[in-house]
Amino acid sequence: MSASRVLGLMVVSVWLAAGCSSTKKIDVGGTCILNSDCTGSLACTMGKCHDVCHTSADCPNGGPCTKVGSNPVCLALTEAQCAANVPCGPLLICASDLRCRSGCNTPADCVSGQLCVQGVCAWSTEVNGNNQLSAASSDAGTFDASGPDLAVASVADAPVAVTGPEAGISYDAFLADLLVVLASDTPLAPVGPEAGPEAAPLATSREVGANDLVSADIAPVSSPDAPLAAADAGTSLADAPQAVPDAEPDSSPNACGMLNGQCCSGDTCLSGAVPLQCIAGTCQMCGSALQPCCPTGTACWAAGSECLSGTCQTCGIPDKRCCSTGTACTAQNSVCVSGICSESCGMLNQPCCPTGTACTMLGSECISGTCQMCGNPPQPCCQTGTACMGSSQCSSGTCQTCGIINQPCCQTGTACLPQSFCSSSGTCQACGSQGQACCPAGTIGTPTGGCMAGSCQSGTCCGAADGPCCANNSCTQSGTQCLSGTCKLCGQSGQACCGGSTCTQTYTMCDSGSGTCKPCGYGGNVCCPGSLCETGYSCESGICCGGTGAPCCSGNTCSAGSQCTSGTCTACGGSGQPCCTSGAACSNGGTCESGTCCGEIGGACCSDHTCAPYSICSCTFSSCGWGTCQPCGMGGQPCCTGNTCNVPFTCTGGTCAM
């Protein structure tokens, strides 16, 4: 171990001895060993207390939110920038843009929202269109080795800057060397202006145990790659100049052994959190996706990548090339199709699955390597089962409609649908309806004669309603006549009179003025020819009278079931109607009570709950109202008054039964 390193370790040992009794909490930027050394929720990272963060917006110091180990913390601006002679802290990498960044394999290794680019974590705004870190600018904020950022102010508030041949020592190596010193019996010399040649030692290394080491307020080096500065006993670190380096530091960002710098002798590169290897004379990150293949060890160590043409390329995931070794496609349910991993094979318009069911969607088949629907026009013909469904046929590999009107005739099965035939042109032509061609014999759905109605004359269907008139302006359907070349219905109410004078519907007559059939014979309407009226009405003076709702006939007479009231026949004698003044007062065995008929079957009971013969009142108590007269005495009906039933039934439990 060199004298400069031993001297540095002795200085740190003094800090350990002095800090063991301190309980004061440390603020942001102060040195620490444990999280408990820091104030509040601060985290002890790289030997200093840092603010914890989720994004850079959480950082009050303006520095970036960076994942160091497992802790996302706010780096100080001086911690976030680097150069060849200003390395980064532990677990950080000096990236090509001269920023200290976390190493990564995937974005999961970074602060949430960051990308993993060229093996380091970066925000999307720091990445160019080629998915590479933006180049370092002239104002990137790099530090000079002699600047205040690396100068040592005091033991209490600054780490020890280091130069010289020991440069490159890692933080873990530093602690290991420190333990070696602590394991010896060499007294730890005091440091500072108070120290004199006779000063007693503060403690021996054996008086400082491992527990003291992890709990003391030790000020670690500012970088894992920075060695300790030498300090003489009796000299204050605040006053002491930095140690003179053995060689002038290289100010180039491409120093020997560093990222993107030239390789050191023996084609070696500095080790770090992410390994570098010498490739074409330059130290480069390798083995991750889109990085060069590592020349030694595993060529591509990142999961889901393999070496192709000297570059680690992603493989085995959906929509990427299949891996040539090991598992071709690593994602669940994905398979290699034409050299590309597909997790949607078998779905509509996706590649066919090479194993298992080629196409999973019902009605689809593998056609030219792609799952396509088939069997219905204008889809491709199915390769298995029925080539084309319904009224379609396979032609040149495509299902085409056939068998319907104005479409090609089907070559197999039924040529055309019902009421159509295959014409000489090879298309289906409609037939059998008025004005259409007569259907050939045997046409499906067509009666003998070739026409659905009317007649077939000269190859055309005619003579039915709304069809063309046949020869000599004739119509063959009953109740039609030829008007202006078309057979029209006639003789019904509202239609033209047949032959100009005849109506075929009962109780209609031809109105000579309009030439149409109009109603007649109804109550209050004109009498039909021959003085005819509907049943219950009489024809007097050309008008039908005497029925309910019609005018009273002469002598104020009306038909049965009605009586003349103020010149109009009104209904009487029915249940709930006025009693008739002539003839039977009430119909159906009803009783006239106070001028109103009651007791009929289905009508209201009379006031004493009586009803016509063979009926009984549904209510026999005054409290339930009038009640309704219901049939009684037959099988399944209630027993009549006195528990009587019609023969051959007898009253059993209030019901007539055999």
**pLDDT score, position 399:** 94
Residue pair 434/467 in contact (Cβ under 8 Å)? The answer is: yes
pLDDT value at 489 more than 80: yes
Highest mean pLDDT pick, 208-212, 214-218, 482-486: 482-486
Q: Of all residues in the chain, what percent carry a pLDDT higher than 90?
A: 40
Question: How high is the pLDDT of residue 271?
Answer: 60
Q: Is the confidence at residue 71, as pLDDT, over 90?
A: no
pLDDT per position as a tens digit, 222-247? 333 333 333 333 333 233 223 233 33
Please state, for a pLDDT cut of 70, what percent of the chain lies above it: 76
Q: What's the whole-model pTM score?
A: 0.38
The answer to whether 519 touches 525, Cβ cutoff 8 Å, is yes
213: pLDDT strictly greater than 80: no
Average pLDDT of the chain?
A: 77
* More confident site: 559 or 317: 559
Cα 311 from Cα 571, distance rounded (Å): 107
Of 267-276, 519-528, 600-609, 618-627, least confident by mean pLDDT is 267-276
Count CB neighbours of 284 within 10 A: 20
pLDDT exceeds cutoff 80 at 642 = yes
Residue carrying structure tokens 């209510």: 619
Q: Is the pLDDT of residue 463 over 90?
A: yes
Q: Quote the pLDDT of residue 23.
A: 65
- Rounded mean pLDDT of 19-38? 78
- Whether 566 has a pLDDT exceeding 90, the answer reads yes
pLDDT tier at 579 (50, 70, 90 boundaries)? very high
- Rounded distance, CA 238 to CA 55, Å? 36
Long-range contacts of 4-7 (CB under 8 A, 24+ apart): 4/164, 4/165, 4/166, 4/227, 4/228, 4/230, 4/243, 5/166, 5/169, 5/177, 5/227, 5/228, 6/181, 7/228, 7/230, 7/231, 7/232
pLDDT at 527: 96
Residue 255 has a pLDDT of: 61
Quick one: pLDDT band at residue 580, thresholds 50, 70, 90?
Answer: very high
d(CA 450, CA 468): 16
User: Does residue 126 register a pLDDT over 60?
Assistant: yes
| pLDDT reading at 473 higher than 80 | yes
- The structure tokens 């099988």 sit at 635
d(CA 389, CA 380): 11
pLDDT-based confidence at residue 142 (cuts at 50, 70, 90): very low
DSSP state letter for 78 = T
> Residue 384 pLDDT more than 70?
yes
Lowest-pLDDT choice from 9-13, 296-300, 593-597: 9-13
CA-wise closest residue to 223 among 372, 68, 347: 68
pLDDT in tens, 412-457: 888 999 999 999 999 999 999 999 999 998 888 888 889 999 999 9
pLDDT in tens, 241-268: 232 333 333 444 446 887 778 888 888 8
Handedness of CA 323, 325, 331, 332 (dihedral sign): positive
Q: What is the 3-state secondary structure (H, E, C) of 270-290?
A: CCCCCCEEEECCEEEECCCCC
pLDDT tens profile 180-204: 333 333 343 333 333 344 433 333 3
